[in-house]
Amino acid sequence: MIPKMLALVLVAASFTPTALHAQGSPAAAAQPSANAVDPAAIQALKEMGAHLQTLKRFEVSTRLTGERVLADGQKLQHTATADLDVVRPNRLRAVMRSARSEREILFDGKTVTLFTPAQKYYSTVPFTEDLATLVERLEQRYGVEVPLADLFVWGTPEAPLDRIKSAMNAGQDFVGDDLCDHYAFRQGEVDWQIWITAGARPLPRKLVITNRADDARPQSVSLLDWNLKPTFRDSVFTFTPPPGAKAVEILPLKTK
Amino acid sequence: MKTMPARLLPAPIVVLVLATFAITTVADAADRGGHGGGARAAGGHAGGGGARASGGGPKNVHVNNSRADVRTNNVRSTSVNNVNVNRNVNVDVDRRGGCCGGWDNDYHPVATAAAVTATVAVTSAVIGSIVNAPPPGCVPVNYGGVIYQQCGNTWYQPQGAQYVVIAPPY
C-alpha cells in the first residue's frame, strides 16, 4: 500500500513539471523556471483572440497613461483617450483625444481618412483590405498607430504568439467591477501584462506594456471599456469634409 | 497646469507671429463638443467619469504649455502601446520627429539633443518654443499622422490652440 502511494506521488511529481517545462528536468522540481512558457497562458490569449474575432460590431474606449523618457532618464507621464467604433471586417472610426490634440481615423472599407477637427485638415488614402492589415500598413508605411491595434491582430495568424519567451498566469484581479485573469508575458524588448475577463466571454480589460529597450523602462497602461451593443450607424465610418476643410497630402515615412 | 519653474520664451519670436493666422477656437470647441463626453464608458467603471476624464478636458478650455521647461522636449524614448504591430521592423525609417511614440505621443515632439541645447538662432525659431500661430505661408504636411506646419526649415506642431516649434520630423 505505502509503496504504491509513493509511486503515485513520484509519478505526479515528475509529470507536473513536464507540462510547464519543455525539458521536463527532474531537478527543477515543482517550480517552473523563470523563462518557461506556460501553455495555458498562451491558450488564454488564443481564446481571447478567437472571441474578439467573433465580435462583429462593437464600441471600445481606452484611457491610456504613457511615459516619455528625457535625455537624462527622468520620466514624464501623460494621458490620452481613444473611442473606437468597429464593424468587422473593414469599418473603423477612432477618435483620439488628449489635452494637446484631437485626431480621428476613419475607414469605410474603401478609404482611410486622417482628420484633425481643430484645423479641419484631412488626408485620405485608398485601402480595401481588412482591419488587421490596415493597422499593419498604416504603421509600416505612414508611421500612424491605430489605438488598440492589438484588438485587430489577436486571433489572426499575424499575432506573433511564437515570439513569446515567457508566459505565466499571475492570478486574478479586478478591473473595475470585472473579475479578470491576469497574465504576464515577455517578448522581444517588451514585458507585457493583460487582464482578461474571467468566464466564457474573455475580453481584454487592461493592458500594461513595459519597454525594456530603455533602461528607464517606460510603461504604458491602457484601461479598456466595452460596449457590445453599440448604437452607432454605418454612416459614422464615412468621412464627409466639413465646410472649410482642407485636404493635406500624407507623406510615407522617409528612410534615413 | 505646470508648477515647475520654467524658462521664459525668447520674446521676439512670440511677437513676430502673434498677429497672424487666427485660430478658430469657436469652431474647434463646437467640433469637440459634438463628439460628446462621458457617455461612452460601457463598463460602469468606478472613478472614471467617461472617456473625457483623462484627456481632452472641458470645452473651451485649452492647455497652455508656454511655461513648460524646454528640457521636456528632449525625449529619448517612450512607452509602447501594442505588442503585435512591430514599430521597429523598418529600422531604416527616419523617425526623428516621432521616433518611437504611438498615437498618444502628441505631448511634445521628439527633438534631437543638439536641437534642444541650441539657444537662439538668428534666422529660425527656437526648438521647443510655443507660439499662438505659425507665420503666414506655412504649408500643412501630414507626416506620421500628425499634421505639421512647415515654413522652410522651421516646423510647427499644433498643441491645443498653440503651436510648438519642433525639430524637422524627417
Better pLDDT: B41 or A75: A75
Amino acid at B5: P
Contact A76 B72 (CB under 8 A): yes
Amino acid at A144: V
Quick one: pLDDT at residue A254? 82
Chain B CB within 8 Å of residue A197 CB = no
Reported as a single tens digit per residue, the pLDDT across B35-68 is 433 344 333 333 333 334 344 556 678 788 788 8
Which residues neighbour A33 within 8 Å (Cβ) at sequence distance 6 or greater?
A21
Residue holding cell 529619448?
A: B76
Cβ proximity of A70 and A59 under 8 Å: no
Cell numbers for B1, please give them.
Answer: 497646469
pLDDT classification of B116: cutoffs 50, 70, 90: very low
By C-alpha distance, the chain B residue nearest A142 is B144
Better pLDDT: B9 or A70: A70
Quick one: pLDDT at residue A100? 83
Out of B31, B141, B159, name the one closest to residue A100 (CB): B159
Contact A71 B53 (CB under 8 A): no
Q: Please, is A78 exposed, middle or buried when counting C-beta atoms within 10 Å of its C-beta (0-12, 13-18, 19+)?
A: buried
For residue A17, give the nearest of A1, A38, A47, A3 by alpha carbon.
A38
By C-alpha distance, the chain A residue nearest B113 is A71
Q: Is the dihedral of CA B42, B63, A139, A94 positive or negative?
A: positive
What is the C-alpha separation between A224 and A212, in angstroms, rounded?
Answer: 23
Mean pLDDT computed over every residue of chain B? 62
- Average the pLDDT over each of A98-102, B46-50, B67-71, B131-135 and give the range with the smallest value: B46-50
Q: At residue B138, does pLDDT exceed 60?
A: yes
Chain B CB within 8 Å of residue A79 CB = yes
Cβ proximity of A188 and B88 under 8 Å: no
pLDDT classification of A12: cutoffs 50, 70, 90: very low
For residue B33, give the nearest of A117, A238, A63 by alpha carbon.
A117
Chain B CB within 8 Å of residue A117 CB = yes
Chain B CB within 8 Å of residue A112 CB = no
Which range of A26-35, A138-147, A229-238, B66-75 scores highest in mean pLDDT? It is A229-238
Cβ proximity of A169 and A181 under 8 Å: yes
pLDDT classification of A31: cutoffs 50, 70, 90: low
Quick one: pLDDT at residue A29? 54
Beta bridge partners of B44: none
Q: If you ran DSSP here, which 8-state letter would residue A162 be given? A: G
3-state secondary structure of A46: helix
**Which residue blocks in chain A are alpha helix, DSSP H?**
2-20, 39-54, 131-137, 150-153
Percent of chain B residues past pLDDT 90, beyond the cut? 12
Percent of chain A residues past pLDDT 70, beyond the cut? 86
R_g (Cα) of chain A, nearest Å: 22
Distance from CA of A105 to the nearest CA of B (A): 9
Cβ proximity of A196 and A48 under 8 Å: yes
By C-alpha distance, the chain A residue nearest B83 is A150
Cell numbers for A82, please give them.
Answer: 481613444
Q: At residue A176, does pLDDT exceed 80?
A: yes
Quick one: pLDDT at residue A110? 97
Chain B CB within 8 Å of residue A131 CB = no
Average pLDDT (A88-111) is 95
Q: How many residues does chain B have?
A: 170
Average pLDDT (A41-64) is 97
- Average the pLDDT over each of A58-67, A115-124, B6-15, B111-120 and give the range with the smallest value: B6-15
C-alpha dihedral, B20 to B26 to B29 to B31, nearest 10°: -100
What is the C-alpha separation between A162 and A37, in angstroms, rounded?
Answer: 10
ipTM of model: 0.82
Reported as a single tens digit per residue, the pLDDT across B85-111 is 866 544 444 444 444 458 887 655 545
Out of B54, B81, B160, name the one closest to residue A220 (CB): B81
